[in-house]
Amino acid sequence: MGFFKDRVLATHDTWSLTIVRVFLGLIIFPHGAQKLLGWFGGHGPAGFMQSFEQISGLPGWLGWIVIIIEVIGSICLILGFWVRLWALCLIGLFVGIILTVHLPNGFFMNWGGNQAGEGYEYHLLVIGMAWALVVGGAGNLSIDQSMAMQERRF
């Protein structure tokens, strides 16, 4: 197995990483489904692109990258497929979200409705969970683990 593929697929034989990746995928998927499919009270791609460009000031094609990471990436996390790559994408995405939208609102979420927007504490939790997956891999019951074990047999 090549060095790059070996590093990406290798994982610790643990259930804790499995739990982190499945829950992270389950948390991120609805956000992507709002943007792509209009599910869970979302406005679909047109509504998302309009607000994305307006709020962030970034070009629309980056909005499609956000959708891909949130939809495809979350499904891949749940299945355990190329987990390190998708977790790294989530880290980049959520650092960008903090820097472009939530940093001025401070740390805390807007539970009381008394600040201009949401803080970035949720985003730091996502980054921490994703970083654990970058370091440790997909864990048990993952496609990555199956592919790595299959490569070792040959």
Answer yes or no: is 141 within a domain: yes
Answer yes or no: is 98 within a domain: yes
Please give the residue range of the domain that contains residue 88. Answer: 3-25+64-153
Answer yes or no: is 19 within a domain: yes
What per-residue confidence (pLDDT) applies to 1? 47
Answer yes or no: is 56 within a domain: no
Output the six-digit token pair for 93.
């995405």
SS (H, E, C) 50-73: HHHHHHHCCCHHHHHHHHHHHHHH
For residues 13 and 137, is the Cβ–Cβ distance under 8 A? no
Answer yes or no: is 145 within a domain: yes
Torsion angle in degrees (nearest 10) through CA of 70, 119, 98, 39:
20
pLDDT at 2 over 70: no
pLDDT at 154 over 60: no
Answer yes or no: is 46 within a domain: no
8-28 burial, b for 16+ CB within 10 Å, e for fewer? bbebeeeeebbebbbebbeeb
- pLDDT confidence tier of residue 20, bands split at 50, 70 and 90: very high
Answer yes or no: is 10 within a domain: yes
Q: Supply the pTM of this predicted model.
A: 0.90
Helix 83-97 to helix 121-136 angle, to the nearest 10 degrees?
160
Could you report the per-residue pLDDT of 34-85, keeping only the tens digit for each?
999 999 999 999 999 999 999 888 999 999 999 999 999 999 999 999 999 9
HSE at residue 36, side-chain half, CA atoms within 13 A, is 15
pLDDT at 150 over 90: no
Answer yes or no: is 120 within a domain: yes
Which has more confidence, 110 or 125? 125
Tell me the C-alpha distance between 90 and 140, whole Å: 21
| Domains contained in the chain, number | 1
